[in-house]
Structure 1
Amino acid sequence: MRIALVVPPWGPDDIRAKDTRGISGCWPTPGLQYIAAVLRDCGHEILFLEGFFYSNEEMRQKTVDFKAEALGVYVISLLWDKAKPFIEDVKESIPSIFTFIGGHGATAMPETLMKSTSALDAIVIGEGEITSAELIDAVKTGRDLKEVKGLLIKDEGNLYRTPPREMIEDLDELPFPAVDLCEMDRYYPSFEQVSTVPAMQMLASRGCTGSCLYCYKMYGDKIRLRDPELVVDEMEYYINNYGTREIKFWDEHFTHDHEHVYGICKEILRRGLKIRWWVSARADSVDRPLLTAMKNAGCWCINYGVESGLQKHLDTLMKHETLDQIRSAVKLTHSIGIKTHTTYIFGIPGETFEDGLKTIEFAKELSSFTVEFFPITPFPGTPLYKGVHKGLFGTMSENLADQGMLLDRPCFVPFTMSAGEIMELRRLAYIKYFFRPKFLFYRLTNIMSLFQVRAMFHGAMSLMSMVGEQISALWKKSVHQ
């Protein structure tokens, strides 16, 4: 079959606040790339379209010109308002086309999305590779879709969930993502996320053992590992075919299994690969020998999700980490020569404005190379989302277009803070963090590439925008007093 796999139309305005749009970029969607590879291996012809590059009409026309028989669309809740009209327009142009969606948003709220449009034929729930392959085979052969696990379908006017799909136990059975089907030369990462380009993204594992209040775990709570040799095979493929100089691993908990990490590091060194890489880790899952091995194999930065500078709020978030563990991990990482990227959130249930100021001070104490500050967001399917709908924690917008961490407005407001205070904390955090002479000297003396020079320029523009916003907010506050 001829299948169009599509990321719906979107742009920086849809996902970022005005003050950070200048540093925004676009990565390919790994899940959709994996599905494209699996479907191609099944003998299907694939058209891969990225909505960051095209308008709704341009992608509709490309889908029509391709003579697509099936349309699969990647959906997160934030962009459903973009995906829905695209699906409807394609269905109107090709009434016989079979339409399906998948992704985090589709998995978390399938009934809600299916009920909102008549143009949708099926929703893939959970990991999509095997389910999508079986779904397309059933459509092609006329088999009953009820026989395919992991779907939400329509059955005589009613919604019907087929039995759940088991997680893929052996990730090594999957082909490499079909990056060759994407317009890779048009993608570029956000400036704060890598040290150089060309950069590619990868997964060495799936799943997370954490239980954080705000996290939706589509890949389950068991961590499944890829063979280290295959991981490095993929890295080497990108180096040889795309000139890749850096890899960003999107694993939720890269350092969960130390032997797995050692295996990857040893294989990189054995092959003599010269490449930088970036991972995410928990503060309680690193030690000196592991970090030393990672440094020697090219790891230049580790992302630690710190979230708060107060232990009581880490406990509320069910992080199961302590501030001392975080301090020790960041200090140890820096001592090895690996830089850190730390993230923080404001608007935690029970948090006050004064608590947020203490988190800013904790961030300054840790002094990571790069940082991000977000308003907490109750994504559908998370414990936070479910709690809010039971009258707990605070209030939230029901507009799916508000469900983003990088927007200029908070989706969620706890009972202990206002929306204005959350966004003021975000502005103050960036201003107080970056406008420190010692830190500015550190950044200027640690430039690793021309790409980082550009990143610093665009970051400076974002900071000046935040300063202007803060002055304006203070002026308005003084006028109304």
Structure 2
Amino acid sequence: MITLISLSTDVTAYSTRILSAYLRKKGLNTRLIFLPYVEFESHDALPDEVPYDKNTINQVIDLCKDSSLIGISLFTSDFPNAIDLVKQIKKNLNIPVIFGGKHPSAKPEQSLLLADMVCIGEGEEALTELLLKIESGQDYHNTQNIWIKHNSTIIKNPNRAIIENLDLIPFPDYSCDDHYIREIETDKIIQLTHEILKKYMFPEENTGLIPYKTLFSRGCPFSCTYCYSFKEMYKGQKYLRFRSVQNIVQELELTKNKLPYIQMVELLDDNIFALPMEKIDTFCKIYKEKIGLPMYFTGYPNDINEENLSRFIDAGLIITCMGVQTGSKRTKKLYKRNVSDETILKAVQAIHKFKDFLLASEYDVIIDNPYETNEDVADTIRLLLKFPKPRYFRLFSLTFFPGTELYEKAKQDGIISEEDELNGYRKNYFGFLYRRKKYLNFVFPLLNQNIPTFLIKILINKYVIFLFDRPSINNFLFGIMAFLRKFREKRRKSR
């Protein structure tokens, strides 16, 4: 028996559910515990602050007592929340703990300060082999993909080959069989049912529809310096892989029957538009015929065009998102985003032509980059002003994710230090609410309001920036924003 624990607020927890399904397919027993939490929304959060009280942790320990292994899948923002939980588990139970996911794969040595083992890279085959060896009493210290603490040293086993045929991987485990969840209101861990699961599946903010989240592919075709990439780990292998159309449609058909409250499909891939056109044709035809739910997914400017958009929209696409990130030539070079303003605007115009069919057109932008000057930021705003309405800009505060090229540069340049690194992990992956109190960060949200373009152009004039970008004024402006946000939230709750 392995107990798999998800610390994410998003209880769809794709990686954890996939692992559970794979292990169960191999005849192994799994128990799932979901520990959703209220995310930290301030830099004032202390490094030792934890979201789980003693009662919650004791319940987790009780559920883990009959396990051969305890597994925790971690994104960087989850790591601080794992610290006290794992310390208490290890204090009370003599059961090995293994970490997996993006953060442990990028920072295995740091992870092994807490865990007994770390799974590097894809975990389905590795975890299966490891658990079979543990439960049969075999020596497991040579298991590929697994790093193990052993006699004050670390055994660093090499990685096995990547899984090329994604159709061999079973669909995520939504059985609710031996699944448990922390009820936020009571801090009690209760048996998960489909009725309770529905309560914790967040509606999509534009539509209010409950989405089912899945992936069409694994790997990423890009090498952005701010994002996790494990291409080097699988060098010489086919890193970007796609499932067959029949496989993903079968998953969605089964999901519609198993989770009848699902109202839309959200594909989490970085760039669905990169699919070959013949595969797009086949998927759209079968999806429209057999699934018919609204869709939401993301694309890259180089691959978005009227031809593939028209097919996706006919199949049910109602919300599309495109990564812009920056309009500064200097920052594009820093990010290794080799896409011109002209290419971005061409993709935007293609999206705009379907405005009558799309409920929302979203564009991702990175802010809070310490390498940027005010002029770099103003260049981004100037580019965004050229996007026709309706439009919506999603702002993400730059996070230096461990293992990324930009993270290494920031450490070398003294921008981040070991002392403040853990606090930096606390950034909320889903909202990145930590905006620095800078004047131009006050201007960015105005792009989503009905503010005349000429007025925003005045606000980003270099003389106006020079006049207003001062600590006292920034504190005042952000104080107003905080007041208005609370006022709107209070009005919304009173309705």
Equivalent position to 2:408, from 380, 383, 386 = 386
Alignment partner of 1:180: what SS? Answer: coil
For the residues of structure 1 that align with 2:61 and 2:265, how far apart are their CA atoms?
31
Query: Residues 250-289 of structure 1: matches in 2 within 5 Å?
Result: 250-258=268-276, 259-271=278-290, 273-289=291-307
For the residues of structure 2 that align with 1:302 and 1:471, how far apart are their CA atoms?
28
Q: Which residue identity lines up with residue 377 of structure 1 in the other structure?
A: T
Query: Residues 168-207 of structure 1: matches in 2 within 5 Å?
Result: 168-181=163-176, 183=192, 184-189=197-202, 191-192=204-205, 195-207=207-219
Query: C-alpha deviations, 1:399-455, integer Å up to 9, x for none?
Result: 323232645546xxxxxxxx543xx4333311x12321689xxxxxxxxxxxxxxxx
CA gap of 1:200–1:467, structure 2 versus 1, over 3 A, is: farther
Contact 1:104 1:218 (8 Å CA) reproduced:
no
Check if 1:47 corresponds to 2:31.
yes
Identity over aligned pairs, percent: 21
The alpha carbon displacement at 1:237 in A equals 1.7
CA gap of 1:30–1:407, structure 2 versus 1, over 3 A, is: same
Contact 1:374 1:426 (8 Å CA) reproduced:
no
Equivalent position to 1:322, from 328, 340, 352 = 340
Equivalent position to 1:242, from 259, 263, 280 = 259
Higher relative contact order (CA closer than 8 Å, sequence separation 6+): 1
Please name the residue that 1:222 is paired with: 239
CA gap of 1:196–1:470, structure 2 versus 1, over 3 A, is: closer
For the residues of structure 2 that align with 1:229 and 1:179, how far apart are their CA atoms?
20
CA gap of 1:334–1:99, structure 2 versus 1, over 3 A, is: same
Task: Say what the alpha-carbon RMSD is for the aligned residues.
Answer: 2.7
Please name the residue that 1:352 is paired with: 373
CA gap of 1:301–1:386, structure 2 versus 1, over 3 A, is: same
For the residues of structure 1 that align with 2:255 and 2:424, how far apart are their CA atoms?
35
Query: C-alpha deviations, 1:125-156, integer Å up to 9, x for none?
Result: 11111111111112112222233110110222
The alpha carbon displacement at 1:191 in A equals 4.8
Query: Residues 34-73 of structure 1: matches in 2 within 5 Å?
Result: 34-52=18-36, 55=52, 57-65=55-63, 67-73=66-72
Contact 2:296 2:318 (8 Å CA) reproduced:
yes
Please name the residue that 2:185 is paired with: none
Please name the residue that 1:20 is paired with: none
Please name the residue that 1:427 is paired with: 442
For the residues of structure 1 that align with 2:421 and 2:157, how far apart are their CA atoms?
28
Q: Which residue identity lines up with residue 203 of structure 1 in the other structure?
A: L
Query: C-alpha deviations, 1:184-212, integer Å up to 9, x for none?
Result: 223233654x5242211010001111111
For the residues of structure 1 that align with 2:25 and 2:230, how far apart are their CA atoms?
24
Count of residue pairs brought into register by the alignment: 414
Query: Residues 351-430 of structure 1: matches in 2 within 5 Å?
Result: 351-366=372-387, 367=389, 369-391=391-413, 394-395=415-416, 398-403=420-425, 404=427, 406-409=431-434, 420-421=437-438, 424-430=439-445
Q: Which residue identity lines up with residue 164 of structure 1 in the other structure?
A: N
For the residues of structure 2 that align with 1:438 and 1:267, how far apart are their CA atoms?
43
| Range with greater deviation from structure 2 (247-256 or 75-84) | 75-84
Query: C-alpha deviations, 1:234-255, integer Å up to 9, x for none?
Result: 1122222212211111112212
Query: Residues 465-476 of structure 1: matches in 2 within 5 Å?
Result: 467-469=480-482
For the residues of structure 2 that align with 1:239 and 1:196, how far apart are their CA atoms?
18
CA gap of 1:28–1:171, structure 2 versus 1, over 3 A, is: same
For the residues of structure 1 that align with 2:3 and 2:247, how far apart are their CA atoms?
28
CA gap of 1:240–1:408, structure 2 versus 1, over 3 A, is: closer
Q: Which residue identity lines up with residue 187 of structure 1 in the other structure?
A: Y
For the residues of structure 2 that align with 1:40 and 1:325, how far apart are their CA atoms?
46
CA gap of 1:167–1:363, structure 2 versus 1, over 3 A, is: same
Equivalent position to 1:106, from 104, 107, 113 = 104
For structure 2, the residue ranges without an aligned partner over 5 or more in a row are: 38-50, 180-191, 454-476, 486-495
CA gap of 1:203–1:74, structure 2 versus 1, over 3 A, is: same
For structure 1, the residue ranges without an aligned partner over 5 or more in a row are: 12-25, 411-418, 440-463, 473-481
Alignment partner of 2:361: what SS? Answer: strand
Q: TM-score, normalised by structure 1?
A: 0.79
Q: TM-score, normalised by structure 2?
A: 0.77
Please name the residue that 1:91 is paired with: 90
The alpha carbon displacement at 1:355 in A equals 2.6
For the residues of structure 1 that align with 2:204 and 2:312, how far apart are their CA atoms?
23
Q: Which residue identity lines up with residue 135 of structure 2 in the other structure?
A: K
Q: Which residue identity lines up with residue 48 of structure 1 in the other structure?
A: L
For the residues of structure 1 that align with 2:480 and 2:365, how far apart are their CA atoms?
20
The alpha carbon displacement at 1:35 in A equals 0.4
CA gap of 1:469–1:234, structure 2 versus 1, over 3 A, is: same
